[in-house]
Amino acid sequence: MTDAEHETKVAGSSAETEGGVGALDHEKTGGSSGHGSGPPKRALDDEASEQRLPSDVEPGGFDHLQQTARDLEDRVDLGPMGTTKPPLPRVMAIANQKGGVGKTTTAVNLGAALAELGYRILVVDLDPQGNATTGLGVNARNLEASVYDVILHDVAIEDCIEPTNVRNLFVVPATIDLAGAEIELVPAFSRELRLKKAINTVLDDFDFVLIDCPPSLGLLTVNALAAATEVAVPIQCEYYALEGLGQLLSNIQRVRANLNPGLIVTTIIMTMFDARTRLAEQVVAEVRSHFGDRVCRSVVPRTVRLSEAPSYGQPIIIFDSSSRGATAYRELAREVSGGAPQRVG
């Protein structure tokens, strides 16, 4: 066989593999185009496949990941980790400057699962993309005020709180106006503490406040860290999982030193876990070995249903209550809450 014939054969095999995965995904969603008033019926459970995919990393290829984790463990202080969960009310910043790791998915679905347990939850959408807002069924075009007005124009945060289709779950929405807030905050007085002051006015009305941070380390994220009592860090179960995490954790240390002495990293959430790959399992094991009890036992799987839910403006527990994504976030909510009794009726 010539080299050209060999390359043609390899390319054909790759195309067949991609076609097979695409066809399976089409079956998983029932062939739906996404139109209609409700979620499509599933022909197959989207996580039913038991096929295992080979790891792309050769033995010994995890040296970089292991070294990165060791470096973080050695030079970054995550804060004291007690044997019990922090007392209510809890203000949790969900942060990671790396994009696409599941921050918004976690803010929306963890919030909904905690609300299902009976806690009163406020999700603060601090991302100019506003995906947590739309993911909770709120139309940003119909808003009179948003988190932008709270931070820049001193509008009372209670005037911006919107209900959702989940009982006990509320959201402070974001609009595209927030994209200019980083620049507008530069000359503002007490610019790092504006969100904290706003949240403190309604803190007694909620058990958990979850802040969905933007994928950056700018003034919006600093506002979130200054307002929070703790930080949750979603980490994608892939090879470059810890890339850039050191910079986030260093910023957390600076905020603790200068603005918020009580800030600690309490929760690391492994997201987009693909059980078919050895790679995902190895990444989870490596992160657990270095960060211990801060890493949640519950792992969020990579599923089609989780990615479809936002297009219907619904958390996964409403969109597909029996899916593995819904089960994972319910388990995560129980783990994060630690069974604390609700403070608010």
Q: What pLDDT, in 10s, does the model give residues 126-177?
A: 999 999 999 999 998 889 899 999 999 999 999 999 999 999 999 999 999 9
On the question of pLDDT at 60 being above 80, the answer is no
| Interacting residues of 263 by C-beta distance below 8 A, sequence separation 6+ | 79, 225, 228, 229, 230, 231, 252, 255, 256
Q: Which stretch of 77-86, 136-145, 171-180, 222-231 has the lowest confidence by average pLDDT?
A: 77-86
pLDDT of residue 167: 95
| Residues forming beta bridges with residue 230, ordered by sequence position | 92, 264
Looking at residue 218, the DSSP 8-state letter turns out to be S
Nearest to 225 by CA among 72, 95, 130: 95
Q: Determine what percent of the chain is predicted with pLDDT higher than 70.
A: 75
> What does the alpha-carbon distance between residue 201 and residue 205 come to, in Å, rounded to a whole number?
9
pLDDT of residue 241: 76
Amino acid identity at 64: H
Residue 267: other Cβ atoms inside 10 A: 21
Q: Which stretch of 12-26, 106-120, 309-323 has the lowest confidence by average pLDDT?
A: 12-26
Nearest to 230 by CA among 186, 261, 198, 275: 261
R_g of the chain computed on alpha carbons: 21
**Domain 56-337 architecture:** 3-Layer(aba) Sandwich (3.40)
pLDDT of residue 208: 97
| Residues forming beta bridges with residue 170, ordered by sequence position | 122, 163
The answer to whether 301 touches 48, Cβ cutoff 8 Å, is: no
